[in-house]
Amino acid sequence: MRLRSLARALIGLASITFVAAMAHAGEPLDATGTVLACRGTLSFGDALDRAVTMKVDPARGTVATPDCRKYAHLARYCRGTLIRIEDHHFVFGGAESPENTQLWADLHRRSEILTASVDGTDVETMRVSFLGRCVPTGVRHVHRVARR
């Protein structure tokens, strides 16, 4: 008897969590101060696409991808600057795409060829576009005021 009531409680808790997640699935991205965890397709160069995971911080305007070590085309392009981020939903008939985010960013890396660091030309930049699903990570930036 206790096992059944425990199973029902767990199923109820899981369904509440699922319903809460689905309630946020269709909402536009309003992640002020929140870091977003993203999975999707990164497009760059001459029509190259790679499946990546990214961390996006809209408040600070930064992006980062650990997959810069995974693909030779992204070698050392691990961090960058967010140019634009938009809510994105593709609906065709009754089907809706799982993607909810489209963004553009400039990924940066130190150049092995260019060396004039005085005017900032020792950095190579690659413009990329991303289409995928982003969800808030729960990490918030808190600006602490020093007390005296």
Structure confidence by residue, pLDDT tens digits, 87-146: 887 778 888 777 889 999 999 998 877 666 666 578 889 999 999 999 998 765 555 555
Alpha-carbon span 106 to 80, nearest angstrom = 5
For residues 65 and 50, the answer to whether their CB atoms sit within 8 Å is no
Domain span at 44 = 29-140
Considering only residues 9 and 32, tell me which one the structure prediction assigns the higher pLDDT: 32
Residue 13 within a domain: no
For residues 31 and 90, the answer to whether their CB atoms sit within 8 Å is no
Residue 65 within a domain: yes
Residue 18 within a domain: no
Residue 71 within a domain: yes
Alpha-carbon span 106 to 90, nearest angstrom = 25
Residue 95 within a domain: yes
Residue 20 within a domain: no
pTM: 0.65
Alpha-carbon span 117 to 115, nearest angstrom = 6
Kindly report, residue by residue over 28-79, the tens digit of the pLDDT: 444 456 899 999 999 998 778 999 999 999 999 999 999 999 998 888 999 9
DSSP, residue by residue, 62-99: EEE-GGGGT-GGGTT--EEEEEEEEE---EETTEE-S-
Alpha-carbon span 133 to 143, nearest angstrom = 28
Buried b or exposed e, range 68-87, using 16+ CB within 10 angstroms: beeeeebeebbebebeebee
Residue 61 within a domain: yes
User: Per the structure, how many domains does the chain have?
Assistant: 1
pLDDT at 5 over 80: no
Residue 7 within a domain: no
